[in-house]
Amino acid sequence: MDVNFKRYGLYLVRWQLSTPILAGVLIILATMDALIATIIANLIGGLIFFWVDRFIFTSKVLDAQWEVKDNIACVDCGKVCRGYRLVKTPNYDKTDDREPEFRCEECSRKKSEELRKRGVKL
């Protein structure tokens, strides 16, 4: 399973921020029946956090740019190690590459420099 830790971290921060906001709503609605107050607070939370969650899970800004895998054979030198591949930048997109090419750290740096010279924004 691929996990985008930037998205996951933002989601956890959002989750923590929702607690005091919804607790405040429950305090305001304290004179109401507990079940009704909870339903209202959850509806308010849904109205607010739907948009935040939508940004977190669909924003191109938060897309992972590199893919890292362990125990690959470097496409350039053949060394078996942790492999890296550039997936996406503003003017480079290999997200649908059917045969992704992973490189060792040293070869990845060389390839990155080659891409920079070709005008790819890293």
Q: Residue 63 has what pLDDT?
A: 64
- Find all residues with CB under 8 Å of 92, minimum gap 6, and list them: 86, 115, 120, 121
Average the pLDDT over 8-26 and give the result.
92
% of the chain residues with pLDDT over 70:
95
DSSP string spanning 52-120?
HHHHHHH-GGG---EEEEEEEE-TTT--EEEEEEE-EETTEE-TT-SS---B-HHHHHHHHHHHHHTT-
pTM, rounded to two decimals:
0.50
Q: pLDDT tens, 70-101?
A: 999 999 999 999 999 998 887 888 989 999 99
Q: Residue 64 has what pLDDT?
A: 54
